[in-house]
Structure 1
């Protein structure tokens, strides 16, 4: 166990209070795009005006840009084992295209516009790559069969990284169809980040572990009565969201727990760094909050 500096003085602005948990959101200069249950919302940060678009299903992930009319959402349908990816046109207020997957629910979703692909991690222990370059036709180009669920997908340097419930982290080169085991631990991984020299991952047992990829040496911080549900690296500082709504601030080098912030009342769902050390966080407490890392 590490001692922590509890901070109750951190100020957080309540940006959105909703009647349902906000699973994902995107911050731009002037707007916040977010997904709540069966709708996508656009909040104008200046005048607080809001538009919303019905998307159906149970919304999990959203991809949107201020300069584009396209909103892409990933949802689990109310029908058993059916999930969907929808391409919504804000200008026409219609769905241009919808892809349905009928053999499993979505656990995680990646949208890779530069490759005209999206990737689904599914409850049937598969990861599928879908080519949307000729939509309304969609083509399944790759299907990976796993021996466990994968709860986390990362796109980095033209490769997809994923972790399984068996504690394995893989690198997949989808241009050359090559899968490589990067790291193996026996623990269920809740989130991870990876770079050339290090892997940092969190476990269901309340650990955050840093691994040197060259020496395989590890450093660990363990929390009591909680675990990290999601985290982000901001210039060498790890912003970690806890199962009970805590925010833990960890310095990467040296690997040190700096403080705990109590900003939310329930599990942290998303952490979105913005400019000038401003951080946005959403939680199962049905809020999005804005606060400063300093």
Structure 2
């Protein structure tokens, strides 16, 4: 699905748990960047890894986005329903001689201090589970991030496109989806900055235009860790969406009027989209500022 517009952004959560403040910041940042530029904002559910998914998390994420006024354009894309498309692109790359089977286990790679693509490509007689890797290592990728400026990332490894357990790798699925959806701007958390060079290379190998990337600062807990399910980040309270949005906007550099918390989520986002400025975002990862616990009734 390609929507004819100059600016198409997206939010692509994995259903490993409910949204927390850190994921709300990424959702709000990507939403505002798209809407402020007259574009569309899409939602994609990255449900490619069933062992890591939490039952009911996908539906809870969508309900939470809706409760916070983050209404997406079009229908939600589900990666779990796009396996045939990923097979097509894998077959295309294989037909061009750009992939190979890798039987290396994680423990073998750790012992070697990294993946030895020369030795791996030469091992044609091995049996058993194999990953599919893209022949892409070597050189570097340069891109200019919206908040972190010019980046130079060495491509030191051949990217895994399908894992040894048969599941599609994130790098393949995310690039194929972004191409098919016509994504022009990818605004997401800074924890994904280091994956961008390899993704850019795959965009170009597949003959697609490379989107503009922008990596927002991460919301940290008092222990200096990124908010995440693994670090027991509290789930958003969907009963107080206006307060949550005000806190997220403060983190993104807005000087929020004290009475904004009494507005509806839609009104808050309308206010913010009219004032969105990329340069106001402080790119440093940090703890969020506390806000008053106001019962808004929204």
With CA pairs under 8 Å and 6+ residues apart, which has the higher RCO, 1 or 2? 2
Tell me the TM-score normalized by structure 1: 0.25
Tell me the TM-score normalized by structure 2: 0.25
* Greater share of helix: 2
